[in-house]
Chain A
């Protein structure tokens, strides 16, 4: 029990309270400890205090609560930010109560000298400047004490030592004039002589009030309670209540919370004088948050149980739903996480499984099943990575698995194996590097390059296939398929999409340009095609012998035999493109030379057209054959078949240039798999070469466009019917003789 407090109370209430307290608190050991002291003094009831026996009874009964030291939760706090509070006004700032109570001058003066303390901030007007300082007439208090002092005729001295000087040679007093309003801190107070000295030095402020500026203040900077009290003093119709209702702070919806905190009362463990409501005796497990937690856990566990039941009966979807429900109810429920992780692992979603197990272990580091499963899953994932030849990552995973469970034979074995493999592969790589350097040095013919690319691609493809089967959402395949499909099916849309999607990718920038150019062109062409399909055949040059060349190749020895059937179409696209660009390049070079020859062909459009059609026909059939074969392939190759469809569409287009470039673009897109780092560099070289040749080819084509179609008329062609060739040469002969010039 707080003895001082009780004593003060007893002094106030008198002897009658003491006897009541003695009676009520007989069994309180705390009270017995202090009673002997308190009994010695005599408490004479003062005449001016009318004591209510009911109140005394109440105090006596509740004395153990009211005088308990822990009852006082409010800690004395300095009123820090009076000024800032006034601006925001979170609560109603009221003028001092004694204005309304009309407390006498003497009493107020006595109260001020009693309560004013060093460090308080006061505001006063300079009324007299002397050589040793100036005198202030105090107007109001600013910080610390909130009293009405204006009419108390208080005078305070500010000594010259207490005025901070700005310059060494200046007289600090010269900055101040009579009538200035000064904010100053109380430095000393002589309660007997009734003398107050103030200071303008920062040091006289208490540390938490260092932000308060001392010195001259403008008249509008005066504290709010002062201006309010001025108004209240002049206008008697203003009552405390009316001012309170007029304040913004009073209407602040959270004024109660703000003031509670300011006063220092806890609203979560509120005080009560009722014995049954002493919140410190409430059991922690009866609180809502605790019960909810417990309940959630039990509800979630129920879901997990039914989920496990589903799982045992092979109903995986239902099991997953139950687990997810459990995790909805109780996020981070360890059992649910472990069970879901196990289900994921079973379904092959190893990464998701690992995430779940890890989360479970975060929440419960000693969960045995979680540890065991995570260890197994990590090993499993490591195997996957190993197959993708990400050996170092896989090794890391094995090590982690061993960290979790050093007894795991599986992990140990895997780790041992992978260390060997890594060493072996390092050795192999070194050898390969040396070999590579040799081959690079030897002059590379285009055929060599091609073969190399093909080999690389084949290897890559295999790898990709494997990774695709293990993780269906592996990025490279999805990307290539999306890019190729979008390029063909919806060009206009893809233009926009691509801008967003691949903006940052350097390689794709060019690619976009090409595709946009293409799209523009294909649009024009479509329009034209609609109106005059017949003419178009004439207008545009016939495709080069690409299809023919790959048909040849297919039959031919060497490369294609090694190539897997289902990949063939892509390879064709590649080789065709390569061939084409090559031929274009050549075509341009000999463009001038052969111009005459080609001009001659222009005069026989029908024939050229026929020729064209024939070639188209043959190509189409071959591709269709291809696709037929392709579509019969397993569904895991869906993206590949899609690609072939694209090819088909592209190639079928009568416009040769677009098909040519489309092929090149597709080819490139495929080459740009993020996975095929090894061949990236070469691929780029290759591409650059092709690019230049294509642009050249494009121009040459355009120039040749009007001049007939047979870019490669001069080149030997096995597939062209021999009689056609004969006719050709005859026509050429004829024209030469006639001397007809082209436009």
Chain B
């Protein structure tokens, strides 16, 4: 991971560059210069989301708060240009805010510590000095900025509980030994978490994402469900169509291609 570690000064300089974008255009990676609008931004978002996920795991955040943080992040950058704000600082504030929204409060100190270590692996934790407090202040300030930018609309419906209910329903249609042998639940959960790397998590409705991840997991392992008049996914959600499912799956699979390119 040479990318994040070389980005040390970005976060450390972050506090003072809340409103004015510094020359971190180069941060968006190799593709940033050639196609600054689309591909570069997507890659940057992918990396920042990866950062959020990893930080979330290290902060022992549950899946739903991390998902909320990612949705906050994506919605925020739907409104504003990536050039205007430091994405990693926004990501840190998103984690902090998501902890509050989902009732799993994460302390700024921990967020700063883990982030600092993410960018400077192996370094000693920050001292309790001016830099630390400035960083903390900017995280809190940025949180308010996000809230204002999103018009304080920060409650999102996530696919997680749909997926879990679908899993129990679908699982009971399968022979229990075959079901327990096949890690469909784990795979679909992993796919669901991974889909937050991209904007697809806010482009599709939660039910569709849940069904798509479940579908992909079942399909990957070749689990066969009983066939009735209606498809099982059609039953779970009335308005989902085959093409919609395919679109979600394509978006999701695209993210795995992105991983190879970005990291």
Contact = CB atoms under 8 A, between A and B. Distances in A.
Interface of A: 4-5, 8-9, 11-13, 52, 54-55, 57-59, 61-62, 66, 71-76, 91-92, 94, 96-98, 100-104, 107-108, 111, 114-115, 117, 144-147, 239-241, 244, 250, 253, 255-257, 259-260, 262-265, 267-277, 279, 282, 286-289, 291-292, 294-295, 298-299, 302
A97 B234 CA distance: 11
A268 B66 CA distance: 11
A240 B239 CA distance: 12
Contact of B232 (A54, A73, A97, A145): A97
B175 A92 contact: no
A289 B190 CA distance: 24
B168 A94 contact: yes
Contacts of A58: 216, 220, 253, 256
Nearest to A268: B60
5 contacts: A58-B216, A94-B169, A259-B165, A271-B189, A292-B109
B133 interface: no
Interface stretch (B34-42, B82-90, B120-128): B120-128
A306 to B, nearest CB: 12
Interface string B74-112: 000000000000000000000000000001000001110
Interface string B157-180: 000110011011110110111001
Contact of B186 (A73, A91, A103): A73
Contact of A276 (B64, B111, B185, B259): B259
Nearest to A107: B226
Contacts of B113: 288, 291-292, 295
B110 A92 contact: no
Interface residues of B toward A: which range?
35 or more
B interface, over-half SS:
helix
A317 to B, nearest CB: 22
A241 B181 CA distance: 28
Given A98-B228, A272-B53, A294 B125 contact: yes
Contacts, number: 233
Nearest to A117: B176
A240 B180 CA distance: 24
A240 B103 CA distance: 29
Given A71-B186, A241-B236, A270-B190, 15 more contacts: A55-B249, A58-B256, A62-B256, A94-B168, A97-B235, A98-B228, A101-B235, A115-B175, A256-B62, A268-B62, A271-B187, A271-B190, A277-B53, A287-B114, A291-B114
A107 B224 CA distance: 13
Contacts of B253: 54-55, 57-58
A282 B58 contact: yes
B19 interface: no
Contacts of A282: 54, 57-58
A269 B57 contact: yes
Which residue, of A9, A58, A299, has the highest number of chain B Cβ atoms within 10 A?
A58
B238 A101 contact: no
A412 to B, nearest CB: 45
B229 interface: yes
B50 A286 contact: no
Contacts of B161: 250, 255-256, 259
Contacts of B193: 270-272, 277
B208 interface: no
Contact of B128 (A54, A271, A273, A299): A299
A96 B225 CA distance: 13
Contacts of A145: 172, 176
A111 B226 contact: yes
Given A55-B253, A97-B232, A241-B238, A13 B60 contact: no
A97 B169 contact: yes
B220 A100 contact: no
Contacts of B246: 52
A59 B60 contact: no
Contacts of A244: 165
A98 B53 CA distance: 37
A256 B172 contact: no
Nearest to A249: B165
B144 interface: no
A265 B186 contact: yes
Nearest to B235: A100
A73 B193 CA distance: 16
Contact of B175 (A114, A256, A292): A114
Given A256-B160, A268-B60, A94 B165 contact: yes
B169 A277 contact: no
Contacts of A108: 226
Contacts of A255: 161, 164
Nearest to B160: A256
A101 B189 contact: no
Nearest to A271: B190
> 7 smallest A-B Cβ distances: which pairs?
A12-B222, A101-B228, A76-B180, A102-B229, A259-B164, A103-B228, A295-B125
B226 A11 contact: no
A276 B263 CA distance: 8
B150 interface: no
B185 A263 contact: yes
Given A55-B220, A98-B228, A103-B227, A267 B165 contact: no
Contacts of A270: 57, 63, 189-190, 193
A58 B59 CA distance: 30
Contacts of B173: 96-98, 111
Contacts of A98: 173, 226, 228
A11 B222 CA distance: 8
